[in-house]
Every structure is written in C-alpha cells, then in structure tokens.
C-alpha cells in the first residue's frame, strides 16, 4: 500500500479558497507554524538564553515573520533586502543574526545600523567590517572544521567542499584580532549538513562546537557567550520517512552541553538555532490545477504551476508528495509525469509517480513547500510568481502576497 501525506486543508475548504484566489498559489498553515515554534522552544527550554533565528531566506514574507516574532523567534538574515524586511517587521538589535558570505559593503552598513549580531564568514571580513562600520562588542565567527562530518560513523557531509567559514587556526587568530579591536563577547556558528532528519545531527554538531569553544576560550581568553547550531534539521518529504524528533534533539544537545561546557565553567553559553525548513516546510502547500493531459511515450499531467513556483524538483531532483484533492482514497493506479509549462524538460514536479486518475480541473496539492518554495521562484520564460495565502487559525484566509502581473514583469524596463 502506498503511504500518503494528508494535506492541512480539505477539498471543500480549497474550493472556497480558489474562488477568491486563482491557482497556482502557496498556502501556509498558521496553526501548524505556531505549534511547531512552541515545540522547538519546549525542546530547548533547559537553556536560559536559547533563541531561534528563523532563516528568512526560506520564506521571506513579512506576515510569516510577524507570526514567528510573536512566537519569540528572531530573524536570520543573509542579505540587504532580508535585513530591510526584518527591520520593517520590527526586528532589531540582537533579534537579528546577520550571516552572509562575499558580503557587500551596504549589507554590513545596514546590519551595523540595526545593531544586528554579525556573524563573519571569513577572516578578511574583520578588516573589511572595521573600515565600514567598526567592530562591535558582540560578534560571531563561522567555523568550518574541514574533513568529513560524521555522526555515529556515518558521513553526513563534507565541510572541506563548503565555501563557508574560518579554519580553526583562523578562529584563534581572528578572536585575538577582534579582542584587540574591542570585541568582548563572541559567538561560534557552523552549518555542516543540510536537511537531515537524523536526531543525531544537532547533538553531533553541538559536540564539535562545544569542544571548539572550550579550546578557543583557553587559547584566546575570549568570552564565548553563544553557540549557533545554525540550520540543517530537515523534514520528511517522503511519506515513508520519519520526522526528526525535536524533543529528542534538544535533549541530545543538553547532554553534550553538560558533558563539555559545564565542566569547563562555561554554563552561561546561550544556544541559538537558525532553522528555516524545519520551521516552515511542512506548513506550506503549492496549490495548482490540472489543465492539460498528454499521452505520448509517457503519460503527462500539466499543471498551471511550474518550476518557477517550486524549483526544488527541477534543480535537485527533489521529491515532493502530491495529493489529488478529493481522490485521496482512490487507487493510485496511473503513472504520470506531473509537469509545468516551462520550455525546459526538467520542469517536472514528479516523474513516473503513481497517482489516482487525474482529470482536467482537478485541484492538486504539492506538499512541503513552506520553505524554499516561493522563495526560490523566478521569472524564466516570463512566468509570473504566484500569490501567497495564509490559512489562519480561525479557518479564514488572508492574502499575504499578491500574484505578480505583467506590469510587474515589465516594471524595470523602459519600453
């Protein structure tokens, strides 16, 4: 029997929603977002200074950011416009973590103006930041340990191939230089694996960073006030995958904290996270309509959405579950490639996917698009980016981003 995912909206609701908002659009579940944020805080409640900095890049929408701000989250920004959006929502000071690379001058200027916590990606950025805005009293550095990153003897990723971060030797040198320039409080940050549902990932990463923090404190005398475990905790895109257990993950980090930091007298270190996919991924659907059927060497179903609305399948070959609304209990006895209308053969949401018979006009839900869905959209072929709609806790809906129009597409041209 084929396992399925259940949408957070039913056919009757969706029919009413599409009367007001034509497909395609991204739909977000406010209730699920809030409950998930509260569960994350529960998992790390043992750490007095814990803070989640939501990765704005995952879902850059002011309404979503406001919801997360209400749930005690900060904002993790990586660009000028993400900083600007976060400022408009009301984030400032240490509610913003600015983590970027190959950073333009203007980005550092605004981050400094907002008193954001700046997370440096490279040792040369120390001098660059000093020339632009000076060195703040609190600053963070990104660590790249190199080699393979292992958890329980399984290789999870290869940091040596990543473009991010300082080597350990550069951290020592950088901390010393920064202290000479007036920095008093330090953070360490690392991102060593992407989208893993393994409960061991965060505890294994924490162990590396905690041990690094103890060494750095001894070698440089720097006061390390926080350790940022970054993102990487993933979601189960496939219905047969088990989700990460955030409560077990939080407990694993706590054990590493008590084994490594507490004996070193560093029990005042705050734990930060900057999750995006975990926070939003399951709470977004791309809603589309089947508009064409084509039968040649294969059977194709064409949607009014395309890779411009959800790039992950085309870019990574990523799996996203598909529900044909109203046909959840019908036999999955038809094999389809589910496609969009771009002039690119990789514009496919699914390949050889067993689904119920799909008829033109059927509403289709593509799951787990709440993070890196709309955010990765683009205008190739002149395609226009879709609307974003919030399904509120009371069952009503709110348009939180209108769909683009041809006027938007031509707005930067003089024709």
CA distance 376 to 325: 25
Q: State both tokens at 411.
A: 């707005």
- The answer to whether 140 touches 212, Cβ cutoff 8 Å, is no
Q: State both tokens at 67.
A: 């919801």
CA distance 388 to 254: 37
The DSSP bridge pattern shows strands 348-355 and 334-339 to be antiparallel
CA distance 92 to 82: 12
CA distance 141 to 165: 7
Coil, helix or strand for 274? coil
Q: State both tokens at 12.
A: 């009757």
- The answer to whether 187 touches 165, Cβ cutoff 8 Å, is no
Taking the CA atoms of the chain, what radius of gyration do you get in angstroms?
Answer: 23
* Crossing angle for the helix pair 30-43 and 246-260, to the nearest 10 degrees: 30
Q: Is 343 a catalytic residue?
A: yes
* Crossing angle for the helix pair 80-89 and 105-113, to the nearest 10 degrees: 20
- Candidate list 73, 77, 306, 343, residue with the active-site label: 343
∠ Cα 147 149 152 (to 5°): 135
- The answer to whether 216 touches 172, Cβ cutoff 8 Å, is yes
Distances from the Cα of 112 to the Cα of 105, 116, 138, 143, 168, angstroms? 11, 6, 11, 21, 26
- Non-local (6+) Cβ contacts of 202 within 8 A are 229, 232, 233, 249, 252, 253
Peptide bond into 24 cis (omega under 30): yes
Distances from the Cα of 19 to the Cα of 286, 305, 356, angstroms? 16, 17, 24
In the block, tokens 């990523």 appear at 318
Q: State both tokens at 286.
A: 């791309």
Active site (catalytic) residues = 343
């Amino acid at each position: 029997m084929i396992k399925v995912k259940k949408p957070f909206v039913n056919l009757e609701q969706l029919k009413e929603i599409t009367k007001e908002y034509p497909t395609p659009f991204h739909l977000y579940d406010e209730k699920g977002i809030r409950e998930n944020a509260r569960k994350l805080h529960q998992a790390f409640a043992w750490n007095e200074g814990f803070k989640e900095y939501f990765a704005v890049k995952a879902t850059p929408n002011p309404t979503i950011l406001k919801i997360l701000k209400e749930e005690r989250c900060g904002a993790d920004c990586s660009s000028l416009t993400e900083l600007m959006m976060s400022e408009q929502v009301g984030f400032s000071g240490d509610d913003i973590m600015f983590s970027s690379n190959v950073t333009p001058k203007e980005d550092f200027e605004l981050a400094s103006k907002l008193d954001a916590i700046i997370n440096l990606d490279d040792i040369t950025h120390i001098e660059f930041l000093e020339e632009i805005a000076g060195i703040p009293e609190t600053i963070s550095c990104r660590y790249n340990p190199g080699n393979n990153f292992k958890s329980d003897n399984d290789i999870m990723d290869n940091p040596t191939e990543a473009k991010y971060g300082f080597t350990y030797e550069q951290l020592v040198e950088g901390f010393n230089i920064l202290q000479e320039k007036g920095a008093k409080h330090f953070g360490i940050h690392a991102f060593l694996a992407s989208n893993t549902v393994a409960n061991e990932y965060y505890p294994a990463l924490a162990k590396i960073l905690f041990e690094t923090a103890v060494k750095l404190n001894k070698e440089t005398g720097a006061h390390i006030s926080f350790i940022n475990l970054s993102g990487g905790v993933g979601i189960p895109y496939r219905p047969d995958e088990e989700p990460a257990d955030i409560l077990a993950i939080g407990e694993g980090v706590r054990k590493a904290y008590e084994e490594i930091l507490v004996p070193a007298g560093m029990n005042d270190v705050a734990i930060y996270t900057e999750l995006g996919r975990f926070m939003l991924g399951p709470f977004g659907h791309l809603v589309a309509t089947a508009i064409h059927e084509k039968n040649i060497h294969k059977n194709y179903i064409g949607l009014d959405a395309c890779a411009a609305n959800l790039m992950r399948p085309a870019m990574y070959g990523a799996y996203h579950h598909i529900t044909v609304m109203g046909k959840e209990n019908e036999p999955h006895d038809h094999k389809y490639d589910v496609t969009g209308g771009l002039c690119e053969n990789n514009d496919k949401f699914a390949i050889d996917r067993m689904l119920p018979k799909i008829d033109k006009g059927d509403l289709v839900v593509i799951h787990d698009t709440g993070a890196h869905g709309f955010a990765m959209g683009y205008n190739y072929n002149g395609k226009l980016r879709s609307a974003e709609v919030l399904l509120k806790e009371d069952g009503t809906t709110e348009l939180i981003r209108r769909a683009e129009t041809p006027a938007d597409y031509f707005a930067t041209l003089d024709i």
